[in-house]
Structure 1
Amino acid sequence: MGKILIVSDNHGSSEVLFGVKEKETEADLLIHCGDSELTPDDPALKGFAAVKGNCDYFGDFPEELVLDHDGYRILVVHGHHYSVKNDLLKLAYRAEEVGANIVCFGHSHILGVEMIGSTLFINPGSLRLPRGRSEKTYVTLENCKNSVLLHVHDYDRGEMEKLKQKFSFEQ
């Protein structure tokens, strides 16, 4: 079963990206939802499928990625082009257009997970500048055959057990 690591908004800190990769060595897909403020060839981003955030001025990151992984189609965007600080409607339309069942985004620095229809929307929060909470968060997903087990991690203190959730997908 596959494991996905999802991060966002480290805003120039390569140290936290190296740290997360050391903590999550079993992840077979690494996703960065933008605002790394690093160049695409920075060693801290090695192995990450990364998109361009509104603060990514260096290098040529894609605006979005559509990834097929372990039976799921994953849409990755930063979120600033989809008004994610207001609602997820525009992003939900885009997810439907590309046939995504998982959507990963950042921008707001606010941890959030929501199932809308049969699509799972994940904002892993921020590794450096969280809003709405003190924890510097990231997310891992474990594929559990027709469902995923979502784990929220505080970079400094480890997994936040109370936030663990299982999400099932219609087949």
Structure 2
Amino acid sequence: MKVLIISDSHCLTNELVDIKKRHKDDVEFMIHLGDSELSSQSEEMSGFSAVRGNCDFDTNYPNDMVVLLNGVKVYLTHGHLYNVKMTLMNLKYRAQESGASIACFGHSHIAGAEMIDDILFINPGSFRLPRMRKEKTYVILEIVDKHANVVFYDSEGNVVEELSTKEHI
């Protein structure tokens, strides 16, 4: 199962549509991790399972959610409620409480994926204002037989190899 994950697009509209079109035949599920700053009813956000970020004013977005993807529990949140700019500890505890093997978050605008205490943490970075890298990034996560293949892409759809990883979950 392949899942598109994006975060912190901050009012971008055409770019979200372009990414959806680019991967419409590749992915079975799409996630937006907050700070779209768009209405949950907007055309650009259609098809996304989305959580609310600190810059989202639409209260129809939940603060967090747990989804089951190919038999794997995935915890989704923006991250601002867990202080992710300082530490992943609070998010780790919440992911453990929810029984998740993967925790996806944004907020820091810093792209990365890493295993911590048997939980795979994925931050797709920001598609509008990246930090620590020049590329505007998003992720395609593939889950097969308790393995996660995390592939980062730049705004042109090119793979960002140095960020991409494969992990056992």
TM over 0.5: yes
Aligned AA for 2:62? P
**1:16 maps onto 2:15 in alignment:** yes
Q: What's the TM-score once normalised by structure 2's chain length? A: 0.96
Question: How many angstroms does 1:163 deviate by?
Answer: 2.9
Same amino acid, percent of matched pairs: 45
Distance 1:57 1:146 in 2: 36
Query: After TM superposition, what 4+ stretches of structure 1 lie above 6 angstroms from structure 2?
Result: none
Kindly tell me: are residues 69 and 157 of structure 1, through their superposed partners in 2, closer, same or farther at Cα, counting changes over 3 Å? Answer: closer
- 1:59-116 CA-partner distances (Å, limit 9, x unpaired): 4210001101111101100000000000100000000100001111000111021101
Matches within 5 A, 1:1-171: 2-25=1-24, 26-156=26-156, 158-169=158-169
Matched length: 168
Distance 1:51 1:126 in 2: 15
Local SS of the residue matching 2:162: helix
Q: Is the 8 A contact 1:66 1:73 kept in 2?
A: yes
Distance 2:164 2:130 in 1: 19
Question: How many angstroms does 1:157 deviate by?
Answer: 5.1
Q: What's the TM-score once normalised by structure 1's chain length? A: 0.95
Q: Is the 8 A contact 2:64 2:75 kept in 1?
A: yes
Q: Is the 8 A contact 1:39 1:59 kept in 2?
A: no
Aligned AA for 2:45? L
Q: Over aligned residues, Cα RMSD in angstroms?
A: 1.1
Local SS of the residue matching 1:4: strand
Distance 2:162 2:35 in 1: 28
Q: Which runs of 5+ in 2 are unaligned?
A: none
Local SS of the residue matching 2:76: strand
Distance 1:130 1:49 in 2: 22
Local SS of the residue matching 2:44: helix
Distance 2:146 2:83 in 1: 30
Aligned AA for 1:149? N
Q: Which runs of 5+ in 1 are unaligned?
A: none
Q: Which moved more, 1:29-38 or 1:151-160?
A: 151-160
Distance 1:137 1:71 in 2: 26
